Amino acid sequence: MHNIVLEETFQPDYIFSFLRYCLGNKGNMSNVVAGMDWQQLYSFASKQTILGLCFDGIEQLGKEYPDELRHNPIRPKLLMSWMGKSQQICRQNMKVNMVAAKLYAMLRKEGLRCCILKGQGNALMYPNPYSRTSGDIDVWVNASREMITEYAKKHFNLKDDIRYHHLETVMDGVPVELHFFPGVMNNPIYNVRLQRWFRRNADLQCSNVVSLPDGAGEIAVPTTSFNVIYQLSHLYHHFFDEGIGMRQIIDYYYIVINDELLVVRDALQKELKHLGLWKFAGAVMYVLHETLGLPEEKMIVPMDEKRGSLLLSEIMDGGNFGTHFTKYGRFTQQGMAKKYFLKIWRNMHFVRYYPAEALSEPIFRTWHFFWRKKNKK
């Protein structure tokens, strides 16, 4: 097992075993339940924004291991707090589903082809789609930057700046990002290749319509074969920008376990190499194996233990999108100027693992800063 210690009594084996149980692994949990520090599990789940998923697991434990829970009970105050958070997550998912369906219908009415990225589409892969902590609504609009910008100015109150790959706004109290394209890479060569790949695959993603739970409406979401590359590129970009957490790793687990990827694995591996994602894919496979028990036959590439150990260490320290980092001068909690230099210092730690992306990150970020100033509305 990896040498990750958050505190003297941190229990990674128990916690990761519990996460596997939450994802459907029905091995014997008696020892885990008997030895679990429930407050520590709550703190971990809160840091990684997976409280809803973990509460579903606790409810299941109550049905399958009542005797063990009586011997190592969850304090009533903690249990009530957890239940309250889980209900909040459920209600927020219901709201975001309604807004996502409304936004999708609005765009389609205007003749704009689009699909909802990550978010509520990812939630549909979960046994309980209301257990995933929702975020903002990312919608990829398959149109020109000018057309999307004009539409947004007409229908929304825009924030004061525009980003290279999306516009930010709010709809019915839910943050919305209107994407010109799904994502970016720091290295310009790989970014050009990624944008070409997005354009080649755009039509199918906008045609993949699914129904949201409880009659909330319909949205288009990306296919599994698109998500396995797109969401990996999204993780890769955020790894250098702020960090990623277990919520994103669990999302990716649900993508990778889809059997349809086995049929296209050879073609998929060629794409990953062409797009510069091969090494990071190996790191993610290692993390999925160590934490969630992903079997080797489901892996899209072979595990990379060296890079995977680094990634897991970053996930455990930083939590969801690096919000809780204690190392690198707590860079995500600093002001803009200090954060700029601390990010460069952090990414220099990754040069020997991912030289093309790590060396390009400060260049891309500096260019993006001036691009945003030039393109303010």
Beta bridge partners of 75: none
Q: How far apart are CA 82 and CA 63, in angstroms?
A: 17
Give CA–CA dist 354/303, Å, rounded: 16
pLDDT of 6 higher than 60: no
Q: Residue ranges per domain, the chain?
A: 1-74, 93-374
pLDDT reading at 53 higher than 80? yes
pLDDT at residue 8 greater than cutoff 60 = no
pLDDT exceeds cutoff 70 at 377: no
* pLDDT higher than 90, residue 10: no
Q: In the structure encoding, which two tokens stand for residue 139, read together?
A: 């919608």
Closest C-alpha among 190, 221, 2, 239 to residue 124? 221
Sign of CA pseudo-dihedral 345, 188, 231, 273 = negative
Is there a contact between 224 and 258 (Cβ–Cβ < 8 Å)? yes
pLDDT score, position 339: 85
CA-CA distances (angstroms) from residue 171 to 4, 194, 213, 279?
A: 41, 29, 20, 38
Check: CB of residue 279 under 8 Å from CB of residue 240.
no
pLDDT at 336 (0 to 100): 81
pLDDT at residue 363 greater than cutoff 50? yes
Tell me which residue of 56, 118, 48, 63 sits closest to 90, measured CA to CA: 56
What is the reported pTM? 0.94
Write down the pLDDT at residue 7: 45
- Per-residue pLDDT of 277-287, as tens digits, reads 999 999 999 99
**What's the pLDDT at 160?**
63
> In sequence order, which ranges of the chain are alpha helices (DSSP H)?
12-22, 30-35, 38-47, 51-64, 66-71, 76-109, 119-123, 145-155, 188-207, 224-241, 246-256, 260-263, 265-274, 278-292, 305-318, 336-348, 355-374
pLDDT at 4: 43
Q: Does the pLDDT value for residue 369 go beyond 90?
A: no
For residue 323, which amino acid is it? Answer: T
State mean pLDDT over 168-192: 95
**Between 377 and 106, the higher pLDDT residue:** 106
Token output for 130: 């209301």
Q: Give the model confidence (pLDDT) of 54-100 as tens digits.
A: 999 999 999 999 999 999 999 999 999 999 999 999 999 999 999 99
Q: pLDDT at position 330, please?
A: 82
- Residue in 10, 13, 17, 61 with CA at minimum distance from that of residue 40: 10
Q: How do residues 134-167 score in pLDDT, each as one tens digit?
A: 999 999 999 999 999 999 989 988 876 688 899 9
Amino acid 36: pLDDT: 96
Mean of pLDDT over the chain: 93
CB 164 within 8 A of CB 170: no
pLDDT in tens, 219-229: 999 999 999 99
